[in-house]
Structure formats: structure tokens, C-alpha cells
Structure 1
Amino acid sequence: MGAHHSRSQRAIAARVVWARPMTRPPPPVPFKGQAGPRFGGLGLCSGGWSFCSSPRPSRRGQRDPRRMEISLKCLPGGRAPSCGNMMAQSDLDLKETALKEDLKFYFMNPCDKYRARHQIPWKLALQILKIVMVTSQLVFFGLSNQLVVSFKEENTVAFKHLFLKGYSGVDEDDYSCSIYTQQDAYDSIFYVIDQYRQLKNISLGTLGYEHDGSGLKICKQQYRKGGMLPSDDKPNIDVSTETDCIILKPQELASKNTEVNLNSSFFNLEFYRLIQVKISFKLKGVALQTIHARELPDCYAFQNTITFNNRAHSGKIKIYFNSDTDIQECKEWHILSSVLQKNSLYILVFDGFVILNCLASLILCSRSVVLALRLRQRFVNFFLEKYNRCVSYTDRMEFINGWYVLVIISDVMTITGSILKMEIKAKNLTSYDVCSILLGTSTLFVWVGVIRYLGYFQTYNVLILTMQASLPKVLRFCCCAGMIYLGYTFCGWIVLGPYHEKFEDLNTVAECLFSLVNGDDMFATFAQIQQKSMLVWTFSRLYLYSFIILFIYMILSLFIALITDAYDTIKKYQQSGFLATDLHEFLKDCGNVSYRKEQTSMPFICCCRRQQSDDNLILIN
């Protein structure tokens, strides 16, 4: 009896100790993630395992009654056969509450996150600042690139007028001009040589010869020796080719011995076996118009090539002119202006700030993606533990924020393009095209990313939801329509190619048919077909009419119907509610989760509260 009485007294004393409220709340345990604070945990107390502090108190200094009941029942000497199950169930409930809190916070917009925890939306602020800086950078680079492109194009036109005899100012087709007699061929070749010799006296631009030993290089390609008579129906031609070249330097052209060289046997052309004559020369120039834009001038190297093409041997020699332009660093220049140097320095500093801004955005978005993947893994593990089933693919993809991925790609491209731009500005790099592609594409992605923040408003997110809903069907539809489109492309190229300039090659055929789908240039396509063959002319009408009827009145209408159907579906869901997935059902009853910070004040960008319940919000990632 004494021992039993002693045990009863100890049990009563233990109940009194555990029921006494704490005079000081336990310190919070920080949690590495997106969730709120976690309190307490499982510890070893006097008398056995129990929870030594409240896991999530509603107010300071108070215990969770549910935990108190478990602690009393699980004391040594008690008779609670389900003590382990109750503690495991309590752990699972706490884990579920914490997970719901983390999930709800993850799917909040920046303003709601600020109201919940006073977390400043740094990513939003960086994106707004980045839009301004990246767009300004693109405008500055575009103005500079426009000067470069215009200088190249104007010099190309000037070269054609300088070196092509009889050039009218307009290219005949893909070639500049053409000749039809042997005398015209000789005159055109010698005209190029003479113009090159007196370039400094006749040119209006800042042009000069290269001093690297190169000069005017003339090469002729022809078949090997053979015989051909106009009255002979059996030509004797060796199809293997040979190429002979000579180089005329500027110093040699200025001497009197040039006339002797021009009368050499090299210029005795046998046109029946001549394939082509190619004249190439290199010039240099300086673009001074950049000074007016307060930029340092650029030095250019022009590699010009004139080709007399006689491959067809049809009695018509086509003359092609090609000019490849490279920007080079001006060596040992002396510019008496400090404004140009300061302006270049300011632009380099601005590009540096753009890189820092994009680097900070890249780090924050990458961190958010990593935390989202961890949160998804917690959600998957919890579902498997509590419900013994896997999370669907749709719910898994809710955690993949495509906007963050787009921002990361945009930041990488902007940083790379800004580095190239700084090298171009410092005259250490001359690749404008690569830099233009990087900066242009990154700016496109930045502005497309703005749609994400409009998607937080129910009246603005219709476009995003419609695109998401219709994209799979549109892609499948385009695959089927693309097969028909390719069939028409190949058919039009092989049949109408010899009779219509818009069907000469596959690329041109595809562009022509695409313009017909949009209703452009229809009459010209019908009218330009040559009526040399009645069979081909009839086929062209059947071909064009069937294509227009099929694609404009059927395929294009079905394409629009798919998007319209997706839009109607979204509008119906907005009125009656969207289909709830496991993730939506899991988050329905977490609207009363409290956070450690209450809203006391908010910035001006978060002044508008939502009027609707958070339970019906659409998860947009």
C-alpha cells in the first residue's frame, strides 16, 4: 500500500508540474525555408519522452491543449496503450499545418507576402528596375548599331557605282547587273582595274588601300583545253577545271608597266570554256559620323568581291558584287576631344550597373527555384506518408515557376550581351550581330515577364490562362497542318519553280504560301505565272485555289476556334470555379493560418487589398 501510495503521489505531482503554465516562452527555432517560425520540439524530460514546450503557441506563454493531453497520458506509469500512435498522429498534424502554411505563402503574390510577413518584394523591385535599365541599354546600343549598319550599306552602294560599269543603281535580281558581249566583258574587267588604280582621286569617302601586301587579285576559272565549233554538234570539253590568278598591287598599277601586264595572255579569255572571273580587293575606311553621336570613331575593313558568272553559258554573264565588312580597332588614333572619352566611360559604367542588377535578379530567382523544388519534395513526401499515394504530374508542375526560368534565361543573356557590348565599346570586339541577338532577345523576355505581374489580377490574367489552356491543342493542330503545308511547299517548288519567281526555291515557296494564308499579295501570285504551258497554267490555278480554300477557310478557322474554345472554357471556370486538384483541395482549409507578423503598414504598391477570399485564388506559375 505504501509503495502504491508513493507512486500515486508522484503521478499527481507530475500532473501538477506539467499543467503549470510556463513563466517564459521557449525561444523560437529558426526554420530554413519559406515557412514561418517553428517552436519547440520533442525532448527528454524528467520521467520519459514528452514535448518540452508548445510546438506552435497561439499566444506567448500558453501551451497547446492537445499537446498537454498527450503529455499527461504518456507519463510513465500511465495506462495508455495508444500513446505512440497519438504522438505520431500529432506530429503528422503539425507537419501538415506547417506544410500548408509554407504552400500558402509560396503561392501568394508579392503584396500578400508583404502583408503576411512584411517581406519586401525584392524580386519585383529588381524586375521593375531591370526593365528600365535593360530597355535604356538596348536603345543606346540600337542607335550605335544603326550608325554601323547605315555606314556599311552606304559604302556598299558607293562601291557598286565606283567599280561596276553601267550600274543603274538598282540590282536586276539577286545579281547587280549583266553583260551580253565579249567587248562588254573586257570593258567591265578593265574598268574595275582602272577605278581601283585611281580610287583616292575619285572616291568621296575616307577610303584607302590596305598596306598588308594585298592588292587587286584577279582569278579566272575555266574548263581545261578543248575544242568547240559552232557548226559541230560534238563538243570536246574536259570538265575538270583550272584556276589562274594574278595580283596587281597599287604601286604597280601606278607605274607605266601596268599597260604591258594588261596586254598579257592572262586576259585573253576563251568564253566557251570560261566559268567565271573573280576580282577581289580590300579597302579600309573610317566612320566619322559616330563623332556626332559623341562616340569614338570606328575603323572598317571592306573585303570586296566582283564575280563575272558564266556558268550557264547562255550568252548572259551575271555580275555579282559582294562586300564583307569587318570593324577593326583604330591604331594610334589621336582625337582632340575629352567629351568622347567621358561619354564612353559613362556608358561602360552604366553597362556595369546593368550587369550587377541582372546578377542580383539571377541569384534571387535561382534561389526561389531551388526553394520551390524543396517545397515540392516536402509536399510529395507528405502525401505519400499520409495518403499513401503519389502527387499527380499537374500538381508537381505547379511548383515549377516558368516565369522564374524565363527571368533566369533573360538575365544570363543580358549579362553576356552587356559584356560583349562593353568589349565593343572599348574597341576590343567587333561582333555587333551576336551582341544584338543577345540584348534583343533578353529585352523581349523581360517585357514578356511583365505579364506575370498582370496575372495577379483576375481581370488581366485571361490572356495567360487562355494561352496555357490552348497551347497543347494548338501544338497538336500545328503538327497536322504542317504536314499539309510541307506537301504544298514541295509540290509548288517542283511544278511552278521554273515558271514563277516566287517558287524558285523551297524557302521562297514557304514564304509565299505563308503570305497567302494571311491574304497578302494574292493577285500578284496569280498574275505572275507564265502562260508558256497551258498544262502548268491550269495546274497553278488548281494548286493556288485549293491551297487558299483549305488553309484560309478551313484550317485557319479551326485554329481560331481552338483558341476561342479555350477562352470560353476559362470564362466559364472563372464564373463557376476551376477544377480542383489535390493541391487545391489540400490548401482549401488553410485560410486561418496565422503568421508571426501582422500587417501594420504597407508600401504604396500594396495599398489595394483583395476583396475576395483566398480560397478561390488560381495558382498561377
Structure 2
Amino acid sequence: MAWCVNDPNGNWSGSPALPEPLEEEVEKFRRKLKYFFMNPCDKYKARQRKPWKLILQILKIAVVTIQLVSFGLSNQMVVQFKEENLMTFRHLFLKNFSESSANTYAVYTQHDVYTHIAYTVEQFLKLPSLTVANHEYEKQGEVSAPLSLCQQFYRNASISPANESFHIDSQVDEGDDVCHGQLLTRPPLDLTFCWFLSECLLVYPPHPSSRPAEHTLNFTLHFQRLLAVAVRFTLKAINLETVQYHELPDCYVFNITISFDNKPHSGRIVIELDNDVQIYECRDGTVTGASPRNMYIMVLFDVVVILILLLSFFLCMRSLKAGVLLQSEYTAFFSSRYSKRVSFSDRMEFISGWYILIIISDVLTITGSLLKIIIQLKAVASYDLCSILLGTGTMLVWIGVLRYMGYLKKYNILIITLRAAFPNVIRFSCCAAMIYLGYCFCGWIVLGPYHSKFRTLNVVSESLFSLINGDDMFSTFKKMQQKSYVVWLFSRVYLYTFVSLFIYMVLSLFITLITDTYDTIKHQRLDGEPVSDLQAFIMQCKDPPESGRFSVNETRCLMSCSHRACGSDDNTD
């Protein structure tokens, strides 16, 4: 069989002459390939089929964006309510708290530790008369849930810095739920406080009908072996902001933990207030003019979105399957007709990465929509996971718009440039990452003790990435401590070489990779050179889309015809 080669003009040489019926079958196959790679408008001209997939994608972009905005506005109210309650709890239960000291809130003396703990307990007992919101204690049957005060410490410890000696049992002890030798299931009749047999204490709120009495905490902290003190209690509240939008409000449970961290034993005990929030549907409640109709409408809208996404998923999967089948047909044709192996790049032309991108976005958005429906029905409160799924899915949907912009001539060259430059960019980034990681480890171990921006590997990476983008350069140089002249001098060499290497060399080479790829593709377009054997083969089909020769009957499989062509060639030879 003769060898087949395409010249720069797209002409094929060296192929044996085919009988007219077989040549007609080859032309049909060319038209089939050309139709497969047409844009939706040309396909409409060729077969008068409306571009349903394009219409569906445009509709999907609209409904997915509306769904995301709706969820974002709802989530914004939830996040705002949680953040405002967190700030409220800090002002209520932390003594002399100010927003400016949120990251440096700590105590330094034993007296301050006892004072702050006593203040928290006192504020907890007085909560009904202090709060301006609708915060209330959690109920355990007929009584209110207590506040628990526990300390965590080493089992045994004897430390003498003056003698440079220590003896520590690393086993950590913590309080249990035993009060006076019995499991605590209800508050004592005459006591507000109840000691645990270990180092824990329960503080029960006073009965609503009684006046809160003055109590003095009588407990001892083992500072020499103390690791942490934890104050835990639970409050409930209702978010009434949704009433303005004629929606039923949600009930919130706040599991509050105030921790006094003494693990470093540095003389500074850091105080932090953490708030774990759970959201539930209120068991009983009515609002005049409000009904769950809006919620049901949103659930119905989410179901419609899921149906659209499922249809999009099915159509893209069908297109991928058609591409795989046509790839096999094209590979068999080239193997039998020209005895030529199809290159990997030509085979991948049949597998559209845009369809894979759309399928991934559909799966993410469908999962996020189902989770959103469950959240709206108050079964779960996984707002963060739902946000990640919907946000990533919507981002990929909008990125998928580039596929249709690529059909425009002026935009097409930009998209092809990005696709062609991507492998080189990945390889170059891997090489640059080796240098970057080297600087990260070096900066962390050398500059970490002397610079706040190099204390952890994560912070080091963020600081160096900011330097690459020219951000915060002066402060990075300025904040370097001068306790060690050798380290200070090393920091100058380190920072100057990093900035020079990455800004003047690495980034410049990175940009050059993309511009060279753009120039290469641009010259190929101007010179009319075929990029691949597949495109050269298709270019021989001169039939325009509106010629009427792209009917369904014209696109029969060529496998049997290819075998007949091989047999004919053998007989000819």
C-alpha cells in the first residue's frame, strides 16, 4: 500500500487511486468528520437542527447563577447572625474585651486568671438580665443546662527551674462527670455549684422565679502543671431577621467554649472564645403573614435546576461517547487506508475537554443543589460544604462559556494559545516550584525565630508569594529583627536574591512561554499551515455547511468500506 503524506497546503500525495464508489465513501467520511468539528451555527446550516445543547448551556448558566445568588444572600444572613453573636459573646463573657485586642487577649498573673473565670461565671448567671437579644439557657428536661468549668493538667509534676530539674508524668488528667461520688443527672436542690471528684465544676443557672444569689467560687488551679482551663456552656437563640422577608425564622444552638491555654508555660495564658453553631427548624412558631411557601418555591426551583443539569450531563456524556466512537472509526480508517498510526494529539481532538469540564460542573452543582434542598428543609446545616460545591460548579460553568467564545475568530486564537501553552507552563511551573520550595524551607528555618512572616511554612509560602507580586516588600525587610547580625545579613542576601530571581527571571520566562506560543499559532494561521494530519484530511472537504450534503444518510460508518478499499488495493497491486 502506498504511503500518504500531507503537504503544507493540505493536499495528500502518495495515496493510490480509489474506485469511484470507494472515493465517494471517503468523501462521506470527510464530511462526517467536518460536521463533527463544526460549531453550532454551522451545524444548524448543515442539517437545520437547532443547537439545543447551546441553548441548554445558556439556560443553565442563568438558572445556576440565580440559584447561587439566592443561596449566597440566604447564607449571608446566617453568617452575619453567627458573627454578630460571636462578637456579642466575647463582650459578654470576656472581661474588658475590645475588638482591637482580639488576637492578643491574654492574662499574665494568677489573680487575673481567677478574676476572668469568676467574671465569666457571673455573667453566665446574670445572662437573662444582661443580654439585649433573645438568648436563653438550653433546657435539660425541666432544668437549665449548666456551665462546666474544667482544668486539664499533668498527673504529677515537680518542676524546679532554679535547680534545673523536673519530674513530669506526661499522663494528662481531666474532669469527669461524677459529683460527690454519683453520676450527675440533675442539679443539687440547694447548691448552685457542684464539685466534680476531679478538677471540674458545674454551675447551674438560678431558677427564673428566684433572684440570682451572690456566690464565691472556691477552687484551686494547679498552675505548675496546668495545661488548660475550659469553660463550656450552651445557649439558644432565634434569628428573627428572616421575619422581614415573610419567612419562618430558624433556631440556633450555640455551644460556647472559653479556653485558657497554658500549654507553653511561658507566663502568658491566651484566652479564646470559640462558638460551635447548630441550626434547627423551630418546633413551634407562627409569624403573621409568613408561610413556608417561599421555601417550597425555592425547593421547586432547585429541583428544576437539577433536572436541567441532569439533561446537560446526559447530552455531554452522549457527545463524549460519539467522539470516542468516531475516534475509533478514524483510527481504523487511517490504519487500513494509509497504513499510518494516528498520533495521540489527533486522537485527543475527538475527546472534548470542554465536555469533561461541563460534566464535572454538573456533578458538583447537582450535589450542591441536593445539599441546598436538605439545608432548606432544616435537616442539616452544612453551609460551608454547600458553598464549596455550588461555588466551584458555577465557576466551571462560567469557564465553560469560553468554549462558545472560541467559535469567534478573534477569540479562538487566544483560547488555542492557552491550550497549547498549558503543557509547557505546567513543566515550567514544576521547575520553578523546586526553587520556591527551597526558599520556603530555608526562610522558615533561618528567619523564623527573628521574623513574624517566617514563623510557619504556611506563612512563609504566603509571604514569598506576596513578594513575587510586589506586595508588602518594605515591611518584610523592615520587620527583620537585628538581634543576630549574621542572620540579619543573611536575610538581606536571601530576600534580594529571591526577589531578583523570581521577578526578573522566573516571571519573565513564564510570560515568554505564552507569548512564543501565541506567535507560533498566529503565524500558522496566517500561513495557512495545517496543524495536524486530521485537520489536513478534513480540509480536503470543500463542501460548505449549507450545501445540503451533510444529511444523516450521508454519515454511514466507513469500517466495511475501509476493508473493501484494502482488498481493492491488494488486488490492484
- Counterpart Cα distance in 1 of 2:163 and 2:302: 72
Q: Which residue pairs with 1:284 in the alignment?
A: 236
**Is residue 124 from structure 1 mapped to residue 124 from structure 2 by the alignment?**
no
SS of 1:332 mapped into structure 2? coil
The amino acid across from 1:189 in the alignment is I
Q: Which residue of 1 aligns with 2:76?
A: 146
Q: Which SS does the other structure have where 1:204 is aligned? A: coil
Whether 1:196 aligns to 2:152 is no
SS of aligned partner of 1:259: coil
Show the counterpart of 1:44.
none
> Which amino acid letter does the alignment assign opposite residue 220 of structure 2?
N
Q: Counterparts of 1:226 and 1:509 in 2: how far apart (Å)?
A: 36
Matches within 5 A, 1:434-513: 434-513=385-464
Say which SS state the counterpart of residue 497 (structure 1) adopts: helix
TM-superposed deviation, 1:232: 4.2
The aligned counterpart of 1:180 is: 108
| Alignment-mate amino acid for residue 272 of structure 1 | Q
Secondary structure, counterpart of 1:591 in structure 2:
coil
1:220 counterpart SS class? strand
**CA-CA distance at 1:472 after TM superposition:** 1.0
**2:250 pairs with 1:250:** no
What's the TM-score once normalised by structure 2's chain length? Answer: 0.84
2:34 pairs with one of 93, 104, 109: 104
Compared CA separation, residues 236 and 387, structure 1 to 2 (3 A): closer
| Structure 1 CA distance for aligned equivalents of residues 297 and 134 of structure 2 | 29
2:287 is the alignment partner of 1:335 = yes
Q: Deviations over 1:48-97 (max 9, x none)?
A: xxxxxxxxxxxxxxxxxxxxxxxxxxxxxxxxxxxxx99x9566434423
Residue matched to 1:238: 169
Residues in 1 aligned to 2:508 and 2:283: alpha-carbon distance in whole angstroms: 61
Q: Determine the C-alpha separation between the residues in 2 that align with 1:557 and 1:488.
A: 19
CA distance in 2, matches of 1:489, 1:256: 57
Q: CA deviation at 1:128?
A: 1.0
Residue type at the aligned position of 1:241: V
8 Å CA contact retained: 2:243, 2:287: no
1:115 counterpart = 2:45: yes
Asked if the contact 1:206/1:285 (under 8 Å) is kept, the reply is yes
Q: Show the 5 A alignment for 1:327-406.
A: 327-338=279-290, 340-406=291-357
The alpha-carbon distance between structure 1 residues 598 and 295, as it changes in their structure 2 partners (threshold 3 A), is farther
Q: How much does 1:561 deviate?
A: 1.0
d(CA) in 2 for partners of 1:479, 1:226: 50
* Structure 2 residue aligned with 1:74: none
In structure 2, C-alpha distance between the alignment counterparts of 1:238 and 1:250, rounded to whole Å:
36
- Structure 1 residues not aligned, in runs of 5+: 1-84, 600-621
- Specify the alignment match of 1:310 in structure 2: 262
Alpha-carbon distance between aligned partners in 2 of 1:549 and 1:323, rounded to the nearest angstrom? 45
Q: Which residue of 1 aligns with 2:250?
A: 298
Residue 222 of structure 2 is aligned to residue 222 of structure 1:
no
Partner of 1:274: 226
Residue 89 of structure 2 is aligned to residue 159 of structure 1: yes
What is the deviation of 1:246?
Answer: 2.6
Q: How far did residue 450 of structure 1 move?
A: 1.0
User: How far is 1:371 from its partner?
Assistant: 1.2
Using a 3 Å threshold, how does the CA distance of structure 1 residues 488 and 252 change in structure 2: closer, same or farther? farther
- CA deviation after TM superposition for structure 1 residue 384, in Å: 1.3
Q: Does structure 2 retain, via aligned residues, the 8 Å contact 1:118–1:597?
A: no
> Structure 1 residues 165 and 329, CA, compared in 2 at 3 Å: closer, same or farther?
same
- State the 1:559 CA deviation: 0.7
**Distance between the aligned counterparts of 1:595 and 1:453, measured in 2?**
21
- Residues 1:325 and 2:325 are matched in the alignment: no
Q: CA 1:142–1:578 in structure 2 vs 1: closer, same or farther (change >3 Å)?
A: farther
Report deviation, 1:166. Answer: 1.7
Equivalent pairs, count: 507
Aligned to 1:259: 215
* Aligned-pair CA distance for 1:255: 8.4
Q: What is the TM-score of this pair, normalised by structure 1? A: 0.77
Counterparts in 2 of 1:139 and 1:164: CA distance versus 1, 3 Å: same
Note the alpha carbon deviations across 1:523-575, whole angstroms, 9 max, x for none.
Answer: 11111111111111111111111110111111111111111111211221221
Gap change, CA 1:294 and 1:437, over 3 Å in 2: farther
Give the partner amino acid of 1:200. Answer: P
Any idea what SS the aligned residue of 2:71 has? helix
Q: Secondary structure, in 3 states, of the residue corresponding to 1:224?
A: strand
Spell out, residue by residue over 1:209-242, the C-alpha distance to the aligned partner (whole angstroms, 9 max, x if none): 1123742111111223444567544344433332
| SS state at 2:273 partner | strand
CA distance in 2, matches of 1:199, 1:329: 24
Q: What is the CA–CA distance in structure 2 between the aligned matches of 1:201 and 1:172, rounded to whole Å?
A: 25
How far apart are the structure 1 equivalents of 2:58 and 2:379? Answer: 32
- Code of the residue aligned with 2:42 in structure 1: it is D
Q: Report the alpha carbon displacement of residue 329 of structure 1 after superposing the two structures with TM.
A: 2.2
Judged with a 3 Å threshold, the aligned counterparts in structure 2 of structure 1 residues 342 and 240 are, in CA distance, closer, same or farther, namely closer
* C-alpha distance in 2 between matches for 1:367 and 1:239: 62
Query: Partner of 2:115: helix, strand, or coil?
Result: helix
Asked whether the 8 Å contact 2:368–2:387 carries over to 1, the reply is yes
Structure 2 CA distance for partners of 1:235 and 1:386, relative to 1, 3 Å? closer
Q: Give the Cα–Cα distance (whole angstroms) in 1 for the partners of residues 266 and 545 of structure 2.
A: 87
Q: Paired residue for 1:528?
A: 479
- How far apart are 1:595 and its partner, in Å? 7.8
Q: Which letter maps to 2:139? A: H
1:283 match: secondary structure: strand
Are the structure 2 counterparts of residues 465 and 193 from structure 1 closer, same or farther at C-alpha, using a change threshold of 3 Å? same
Do the aligned partners of residues 510 and 362 (structure 1) sit closer, same or farther apart at CA in structure 2, a change above 3 Å counting?
A: same
CA RMSD of aligned residues (A): 2.4
Q: How far has the Cα of 1:156 moved from its partner?
A: 0.7
With over 3 angstroms needed to count, the CA separation of the structure-2 counterparts of 1:570 and 1:189, relative to structure 1, is: same
Give 5+ residue unaligned stretches, structure 2.
1-15, 176-199, 551-573
1:420 to 360, 371, 374: 371
